[in-house]
């Protein structure tokens, strides 16, 4: 775990100067909002030390090393995936009405919907510019991978929003949504360094598969934490996803099991009003009773094993491959 | 004029099947909203026959022909610029709170802010995918041109929003905003076919300059129409831009002339409340009195002359060049 944290810090240190240089292309106002969103400054411009773990850039740098290239080869890709990730967070926070992210006010609450929309749009355009300006002969292939992942990411978000309005969602549809919303960009991140390094298609495909399975495993565990996670660890309120009556993967599994518990859960999810703590505990119990928690945990492990097996089918640098696997496990295996 | 309309219809007919094929990649909901926005269907899905003039695709096709390539070479570029244009309209209508476009309800009023944000995001990602998937060796250069134009377009919109909150804007700042918001994508449209055809840099630059000057000229005349245009022709209410107290180019010119009329205009623009017809007529008179209308009209003509002169500095197919100039004049020279 310490090794993974060190590796994450190392890659964050590696991409931060490049990310700063790229953000310098933005107008002052957009750059300010982007820097705030990234945790670099406070709303009033004072330096801050926050921000996410930058898992996607770390995957990108490792994917170049895994095919024997220096991590610098992946730098434009690492910056680009982080930009696309933050584009999606800016728009999602607005659409979901989330007022806080990592215990800080979200951009739309400070600069209005217009700020969040335009800063997101600017980061998306900048991601493509960064890749296409990098001068590598493989830039177009990397840009294509990223454009496709962005389309899948947006489609996943469209599904997520649509599912909130629907009473029935199949487990397959729910997994497809997670594959788009969480898997697509992690998949591109785990492959983009290898694409920039000009690795063979089979190698790129194996890395992409690893990233997509990692994304699904992450989402499954995130959904388990959204119901049963310790608020002190998750930073969210207890039963937060149930409170929002979210059709997460464990809930969708439980609903599709039918039976009396499934029926009771379905009618509880469609009931109006704010549920109290006792109701939330009872609903969480229903999901667990039909095996939703157990299934999600086992499915996450299965996805991780699939992804790791894919890596072993191709010839990769052993050290970088181990780091990729350790990083993936670190991201997924949080305190459940 | 009839020749230009025929040329516009021809290019719209040429790109529509390609645009439909590309939109088929979207999920059903996003495709439905995009098709509605493009005027192909009603909100309930019944076929409709609307939509814009598709000036940008027409420029893209002509720019390939101008360098001696068949218009098909520019097809992915023509589709991509139209997608980026519609991405920006979807987001702008939401941010500006516009409830109608071309006498139809806007996407956000029918499917909520989330619909407009996600459909816009999807079209932007799809634009890059379309170009990068086209298989031409010049695809990356075209995608790069488009990514840069998108960044400039977003920056222009950021400035436009910022200027609404400011009391003073210089004429240079206002022109810079219009260059981004209107000029950048028209510039990319007028050059992207030549880029896809592999034309020399000097030729591409001349075409891009023509497009950017056309964009500025268009915006100047659009601003004149927003104050003095005939509602029967513009489809907007009389004095619409003044009613919105918009710091358009003629208004900014007038404000920067100072004098008693300029000072009166400034205090009128910052006054609260809904202005009545007499006030609007008086404000329009103030702008005209200090030369705002005359300046904008002359400046538009100067920009067009600059753009057309740029075309004459390079070796272009004479017929396509004539069509480019005729199309530009048609777009700019509307009933003032």
Q: How far apart are CA A197 and CA A67, in angstroms?
A: 7
Look at residue A1 in the predicted model and tell me its pLDDT. Answer: 64
Measured between CB atoms, which of B25, B29, B91 is closest to A117?
B91
The two three-digit tokens of residue B135, written as one number = 């298989």
In the three-class reduction of DSSP (H, G, I as helix; E, B as strand; rest coil), residue A104 is classed as strand
* Residue % of chain B over a pLDDT of 70: 99
Q: Which strand (E) or helix (H) includes residue B72?
A: none
Q: Which residues contact B302 (CB under 8 A, 6 or more apart)?
A: none
The two three-digit tokens of residue B279, written as one number = 């006030």
Predicted confidence (pLDDT) at residue A249 exceeds the cutoff of 90: yes
In the three-class reduction of DSSP (H, G, I as helix; E, B as strand; rest coil), residue A219 is classed as helix
Predicted confidence (pLDDT) at residue B200 exceeds the cutoff of 90: yes
Mean pLDDT lowest among B55-69, B182-196, B250-264: B250-264
Predicted confidence (pLDDT) at residue B7 exceeds the cutoff of 80: yes
ipTM of this complex prediction, to 2 decimal places: 0.94
Phi/psi at B313 (5° precision) = -85, -10
Measured between CB atoms, which of B25, B126, B143 is closest to A128?
B143
Look at residue B274 in the predicted model and tell me its pLDDT. Answer: 86
What is the crossing angle of helices B55-66 and B2-23, to 10°?
Answer: 100
Q: What is the mean pLDDT of residues B141-160?
A: 98
pLDDT tens profile B169-185: 999 999 999 999 999 99
pLDDT tens profile A55-87: 999 999 999 999 999 999 999 999 999 999 999
Min distance B155 CA to chain A CA atoms (Å) = 7
Min distance B282 CA to chain A CA atoms (Å) = 32
Domain membership of residue A252 as a residue range: 2-332
The CATH number linked to A180 is 1.10.600.10
User: Which of A224, A324, A263 is CA-nearest to residue A11?
Assistant: A324
Number of domains in chain A: 1
Contact B147 A125 (CB under 8 A): yes
Contact A129 B144 (CB under 8 A): yes
- Long-range contacts, stretch A266-270, CB < 8 angstroms, 24+ apart: A266/A167, A269/A245, A270/A167
User: With bands split at pLDDT 50, 70 and 90, how would you rate the model's confidence at A239?
Assistant: confident
Measured between CB atoms, which of B27, B132, B158 is closest to A29?
B158
Mean pLDDT lowest among A178-187, A190-199, B98-107, B170-179: B98-107
Measured between CB atoms, which of A118, A144, A157 is closest to B158?
A118
pLDDT tens profile A82-130: 999 999 999 999 999 999 998 899 999 999 999 999 999 999 999 999 9
CA nearest to B180 within chain A: A27
Look at residue B335 in the predicted model and tell me its pLDDT. Answer: 53
The two three-digit tokens of residue B314, written as one number = 């390079």
Measured between CB atoms, which of A87, A122, A158 is closest to B30?
A158
The two three-digit tokens of residue A292, written as one number = 């939703």
Q: Which residues contact B211 (CB under 8 A, 6 or more apart)?
A: B59, B183, B186, B187, B188, B189, B190, B191, B307
Q: Which residues contact B143 (CB under 8 A, 6 or more apart)?
A: A128, A132, A140, A143, B128, B131, B132
Tokens 């697509």 -> residue: A184
Predicted confidence (pLDDT) at residue B117 exceeds the cutoff of 70: yes
> First-to-last CA distance in chain B?
16
- For B140, other C-beta atoms within 10 Å of its C-beta total 22
Q: How far apart are CA B180 and CA B74, in angstroms?
A: 23
∠ CA A254-A257-A261, nearest 5°, is: 65
Q: How far apart are CA A201 and CA A39, in angstroms?
A: 36
Predicted confidence (pLDDT) at residue B248 exceeds the cutoff of 80: yes
* Residue % of chain A over a pLDDT of 70: 99
For residue A68, the Cα-to-chain-centroid distance in whole angstroms is 26
Q: What is the mean pLDDT of residues B251-258?
A: 93
User: With bands split at pLDDT 50, 70 and 90, how would you rate the model's confidence at A236?
Assistant: confident
Predicted confidence (pLDDT) at residue B237 exceeds the cutoff of 60: yes
Min distance B157 CA to chain A CA atoms (Å) = 8
What is the crossing angle of helices A139-165 and B139-165, to 10°?
Answer: 50
Residues of chain A with C-beta less than 8 angstroms from the C-beta of B136: none
Look at residue A27 in the predicted model and tell me its pLDDT. Answer: 96
Greater model confidence, A165 or B199: B199
On average, the pLDDT of chain A sits at 94
Look at residue A335 in the predicted model and tell me its pLDDT. Answer: 54
Contact A151 B129 (CB under 8 A): yes
Contact A27 B157 (CB under 8 A): no
Contact A113 B125 (CB under 8 A): no
Residues of chain A with C-beta less than 8 angstroms from the C-beta of B123: none
Q: What is the mean pLDDT of residues B69-94?
A: 97
pLDDT tens profile A139-154: 999 999 999 999 999 9
Contact B118 A159 (CB under 8 A): no
Backbone Cα Rg of chain A: 20
Mean pLDDT lowest among B176-185, B246-255, B262-271: B262-271
Tokens 């609450």 -> residue: A109
Min distance B64 CA to chain A CA atoms (Å) = 21
Q: How far apart are CA B103 and CA B86, in angstroms?
A: 16
Count Cβ neighbours within 10 Å for each residue of A297-332 and write b for 16 or more, e otherwise: bebbeebbebbbebbeebebbeebbebbbebbebbb
Phi-psi category of B245—alpha, beta or left, where left has phi over 0 and alpha has psi -120 to 50? left
CA nearest to B153 within chain A: A122
Min distance B27 CA to chain A CA atoms (Å) = 7
Q: Which residues contact A79 (CB under 8 A, 6 or more apart)?
A: A15, A18, A19, A22, A57, A127, A130
Contact A154 B95 (CB under 8 A): no
Residues of chain A with C-beta less than 8 angstroms from the C-beta of B128: 128, 143, 147, 150
CA nearest to A121 within chain B: B154
Look at residue B1 in the predicted model and tell me its pLDDT. Answer: 64
In the three-class reduction of DSSP (H, G, I as helix; E, B as strand; rest coil), residue B104 is classed as strand
* Chain A residues within 8 angstroms (CB to CB) of chain B: 25-27, 29-30, 87, 91, 94-95, 113-114, 117-118, 120-122, 124-126, 128-129, 132-133, 139-140, 143-144, 147-148, 150-151, 154-155, 157-159, 161-162
The two three-digit tokens of residue B79, written as one number = 């589709």
pLDDT tens profile A221-233: 999 999 998 877 7
CA nearest to A141 within chain B: B132
Residues of chain B with C-beta less than 8 angstroms from the C-beta of A143: 128, 132, 140, 143
Look at residue B75 in the predicted model and tell me its pLDDT. Answer: 97
* Chain B residues within 8 angstroms (CB to CB) of chain A: 25-27, 29-30, 91, 94-95, 113-114, 117-118, 120-122, 124-126, 128-129, 132-133, 139-140, 143-144, 147-148, 150-151, 154-155, 157-159, 161-162
Q: How far apart are CA B223 and CA B215, in angstroms?
A: 12
Look at residue A97 in the predicted model and tell me its pLDDT. Answer: 92
Predicted confidence (pLDDT) at residue A2 exceeds the cutoff of 80: no
In the three-class reduction of DSSP (H, G, I as helix; E, B as strand; rest coil), residue A100 is classed as strand
Predicted confidence (pLDDT) at residue B267 exceeds the cutoff of 80: yes
Contact B147 A129 (CB under 8 A): yes
How many beta-carbon pairs under 8 angstroms link A with B?
112
Measured between CB atoms, which of A26, A122, A154 is closest to B118?
A154
pLDDT tens profile B283-306: 999 999 999 999 999 999 999 999
């Amino acid at each position: 775990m310490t090794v993974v944290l060190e590796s994450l810090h190392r890659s964050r240190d590696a991409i931060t100067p490049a990310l700063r240089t790229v953000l310098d292309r933005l107008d002052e106002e957009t750059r300010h909002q982007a820097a705030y969103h990234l945790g670099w400054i406070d709303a009033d411009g004072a330096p801050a030390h926050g921000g996410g773990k930058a898992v996607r850039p770390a995957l990108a740098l490792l994917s170049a090393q895994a095919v024997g290239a220096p991590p610098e080869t992946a730098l434009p890709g690492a910056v680009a995936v982080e930009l696309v990730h933050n584009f999606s967070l800016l728009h999602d926070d607005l659409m979901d009405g989330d007022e806080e992210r990592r215990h800080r006010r979200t951009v739309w609450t400070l600069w209005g919907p217009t700020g969040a929309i335009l800063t997101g749009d600017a980061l998306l355009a900048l991601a493509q510019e960064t890749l296409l300006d990098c001068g590598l002969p493989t830039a177009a292939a990397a840009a294509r991978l990223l454009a496709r992942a962005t389309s899948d990411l947006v489609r996943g978000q469209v599904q997520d929003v649509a599912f909130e309005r629907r009473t029935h969602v199949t487990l397959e549809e729910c997994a497809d949504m997670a594959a788009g919303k969480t898997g697509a960009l992690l998949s591109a991140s785990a492959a983009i360094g290898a694409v920039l390094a000009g690795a063979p298609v089979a190698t790129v495909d194996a890395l992409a598969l690893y990233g997509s399975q990692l994304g699904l495993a992450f989402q499954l565990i995130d959904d388990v934490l959204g119901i049963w996670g310790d608020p002190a660890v998750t930073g969210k309120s207890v039963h937060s996803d149930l409170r929002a009556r979210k059709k997460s993967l464990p809930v969708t599994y439980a609903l599709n099991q039918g039976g009396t518990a499934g029926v009771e859960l379905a009618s509880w999810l469609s009931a109006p009003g704010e549920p109290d703590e006792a109701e939330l505990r009872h609903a969480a119990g229903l999901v667990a009773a039909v095996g939703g928690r157990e299934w999600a945990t086992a499915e996450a492990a299965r996805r991780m094993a699939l992804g790791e097996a894919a890596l072993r089918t191709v010839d990769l640098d052993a050290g970088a491959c181990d780091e990729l696997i350790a990083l993936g496990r670190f991201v997924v295996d949080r305190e459940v």
